[in-house]
Amino acid sequence: MTAILVLEDGTTFEGESFGAQGECTGEVVFNTSMTGYQEVLTDPSYNGQIVTMTYPLIGNTGVNPDDMESRKPQIHGFVVREYCSFPSNWRSTQPLGEYLKEQGIPAIEDVDTRMLTRHIRAKGAMKGILSTVDFDIDSLMKKLEAYPGLVGQDLVHEVSVGESYGWENGGLFNLETGRATPVAPDKVKYRVAAYDFGMKENILRHLVERGCEVTVFPADASAEQVLETNPDGVFLSNGPGDPDPLSYAIDNVKKLIQERPTFGICLGHELVGLALGGEIFKLKFGHRGANQPVKELATGKVEITSQNHGFALKEGSMNPDEVEVTHVNLNDGTVEGLRHKTLPVFSVQYHPEASAGPHDAEYLFDRFVEMMEKRKGA
């Protein structure tokens, strides 16, 4: 069945549908990862986006319930060059196309994704509409004009949990046993309050793996509610869209960083920066993929990182007497990490739990644990 993708500048791409029938609007972006499309589909940071995979063949490993990063797909639409409908991976439980149909996600194949990616790189990420039911360009353009886009929108409330809960699904997944690694009660040393702004579940597994008992809080939980549980540390998760409208979260972060060791990832990093007086700006086409080079300034070490964000902190917008930039992106020089010089607070723009490159960034979770240990021993 025919499908069509229309961008806000009038550029069109025709192809074949392999997902759900219907149409969706979103910001059209590209991801350069060669593997991990299932994690991309279920990462809440992609809410509000139509994702294009630059790797040409997608679907060959199918999907399985163990590699989900959240309860359901979070993308609005999916664009690929060639879809493989016959997965061969032994862990697969169903083809990607069947999964997308079940979940109501439109998808299009037989698109020149190289041309689409080059167009986005030249013009910037832009609004788009993907349809399998309406092929009238004028009609689709009118629908696009009514779509507000991501800037100024609070998408976090669409992906955050409704009420707090304790994470009970264990640590990192073990392929040999086929289940998450359980953590013995006598190994639990720290209590962590984790804000869910659209959190990937592998982050929770890493915290548990390090002896943390984790309570997950909704995005709008007050700082007072969090502190009532007397956590040893506070974690600020990744999430979708523009951080500027999240005034409630910024106000809570301002209070919490004065009280507890705090670690933020992705959107959490941006919220830390905003709470420390920083400013945000929208990237031309964002950082999305598993091959973003990031340099840690203190050591000179370069990490190959996994990223998914369309906004970034402005360099120089925070007080250098209080805040130190710790990491920078080697492609464009943007701020990838920061720490407060006197408070136990740090954050990174990338995803250390994704283990994208040879220089593993998981040590950042250990740094968070060290901060909590230092507070407990003080």
Do 186 and 73 lie in one domain? The reply is no
Query: Which amino acids are annotated catalytic?
Result: 266, 351, 353
Do 250 and 373 lie in one domain? The reply is yes
pLDDT tens digits for 78-98? 999 999 999 999 999 999 999
Please indicate, yes or no, if residue 205 is contained in any of the structural domains: yes
pLDDT confidence bin for 362, thresholds 50/70/90: confident
What confidence score (pLDDT) does residue 175 get?
Answer: 63
* Residue where a domain stops, chosen among 94, 122, 146: 146
Do 207 and 268 lie in one domain? The reply is yes
pLDDT tens digits for 284-332? 999 999 999 999 999 999 999 999 999 999 999 999 999 999 999 999 9
* Residue where a domain stops, chosen among 96, 124, 146: 146
- In this prediction, residues 6-18 reach a mean pLDDT of 98
**With 0-12 CB in 10 A as exposed, 13-18 as middle and 19+ as buried, what is 238?**
buried
Do 196 and 343 lie in one domain? The reply is yes
Number of folded domains that form the chain: 2
- Cα(307)–Cα(289) distance, rounded to whole angstroms? 6
Q: Name the residue range of residue 283's domain.
A: 156-377
pLDDT tens digits for 175-211? 666 667 777 777 799 999 999 999 999 999 999 999 9
Question: Among candidates 224, 228, 219, 206, which has minimal Cα distance to 246?
Answer: 219
Do 141 and 186 lie in one domain? The reply is no
Q: Does residue 147 surpass a pLDDT of 90?
A: yes
CATH assignment of the domain containing 31: 3.50.30.20
Do 133 and 222 lie in one domain? The reply is no
Do 244 and 360 lie in one domain? The reply is yes
Do 161 and 301 lie in one domain? The reply is yes
In sign, the C-alpha dihedral spanning 34, 117, 312, 201 is negative
pLDDT confidence bin for 241, thresholds 50/70/90: very high
Do 184 and 277 lie in one domain? The reply is yes
Do 192 and 302 lie in one domain? The reply is yes
Please indicate, yes or no, if residue 10 is contained in any of the structural domains: yes
Supply 57's token pair. 């063949």
Please indicate, yes or no, if residue 233 is contained in any of the structural domains: yes
Supply 136's token pair. 């009238």
Please indicate, yes or no, if residue 151 is contained in any of the structural domains: no
Supply 162's token pair. 């409704």
